[in-house]
């Protein structure tokens, strides 16, 4: 059993809080519309292709980040991972803003394609919740310079984060014909 470094101890509570608060807040904000509180705001209907593009860009940055570290370019890897985290935060902000100003769009496909869409959507949502603490722990272990532990969890974090980023784009592409 290993002990936590001072850096890991310092961030532990933030990892726990953010890992719980972000999914709960997103779920809650998903049901809250600004118009329900008297705000006269136009739907931000232009956001879905932008945040889908950000998801795609995140996937590309993640891949280049892994390539960089495999080539021994630690500073490049660090820079790219910070960009990936920033892109994920931007995605989250835009996603919440869109859903607070717009009604949800239902998938209109039928038959097998509907089941494929639902599988992708549900796995995307579930893994997007799981990825929050994984990314935060992975990042904090790098900050703490516990690279052995960082590498160990990054091997789990990377494919899940990549899947979430790619399926975010796939979900958008599948539902985009049904936007009003």
Q: Residues 65-106: pLDDT tens digits? A: 999 999 999 999 999 999 999 999 999 999 988 888 888 888
Contact residues for 119 (Cβ-Cβ < 8 A; gap 6+): none
Query: Can you tell me the mean pLDDT for 152-173?
Result: 97
Residue 2 has pLDDT above 70, yes or no: no
For the entire predicted model, the pTM comes to 0.90
HEC readout, the chain: CCCCCHHHHHHHHHHHHHHHHHHHHHHHHHHCCHHHHCCCCCCCCCHHHHHHHHHHHHHHHHHHHHHHHHCCCHHHHHHHHHHHHHHHHHHHHHHHHHHHHCCCCCCCCCCHHHHHHHHHHHHHHHHHHHHHHHHHHHHHHHHCCCHHHHHHHHHHHHHHHHHHHHHHHHHHHHHHHHCC
CB atoms within 10 A of CB 133: 17
Q: What is the pLDDT of residue 14?
A: 94
- Please provide the size of the chain in residues: 180
Residue 1 vs residue 108, higher pLDDT:
108
Of the chain, the end-to-end C-alpha distance in Å amounts to 54
Whether residue 174 has pLDDT greater than 70: yes
Q: Is the model more confident about 26 or about 123?
A: 123
* pLDDT above 90 (res 60): yes
Give tens-digit pLDDT for 128-162.
999 999 999 999 999 999 999 999 999 999 999 99
pLDDT at 1: 54
Instruction: For residues 90 and 168, give the distance between their C-alpha atoms in angstroms, rounded to a whole number.
Output: 14
Is the C-alpha dihedral spanning 45, 81, 66, 22 positive or negative? negative
Residue 180: per-residue pLDDT: 67
List, for residues 35-58, the tens digit of each pLDDT value: 777 777 787 889 999 999 999 999
């Amino acid at each position: 059993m290993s002990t936590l470094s001072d850096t890991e101890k310092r961030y532990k509570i933030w990892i726990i809080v953010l890992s719980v608060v972000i999914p709960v807040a997103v779920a809650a904000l998903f049901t809250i519309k600004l118009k329900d509180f008297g705000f006269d705001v136009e739907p931000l209907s232009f956001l879905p292709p932008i945040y889908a593009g950000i998801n795609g860009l995140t996937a590309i940055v993640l891949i280049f980040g892994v390539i960089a570290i495999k080539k021994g370019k630690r500073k490049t890897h660090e820079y790219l991972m910070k960009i990936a985290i920033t892109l994920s935060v931007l995605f989250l902000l835009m996603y919440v803003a869109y859903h607070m100003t717009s009604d949800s769009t239902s998938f209109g496909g039928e038959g097998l394609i509907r089941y494929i869409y639902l599988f992708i959507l549900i796995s995307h949502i579930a893994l997007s919740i799981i990825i929050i603490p994984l990314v935060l722990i992975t990042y904090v272990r790098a900050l703490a310079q516990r690279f052995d532990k960082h590498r160990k969890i990054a091997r789990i974090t990377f494919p899940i984060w990549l899947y979430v980023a790619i399926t975010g784009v796939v979900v958008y592409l599948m539902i985009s014909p049904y936007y009003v």
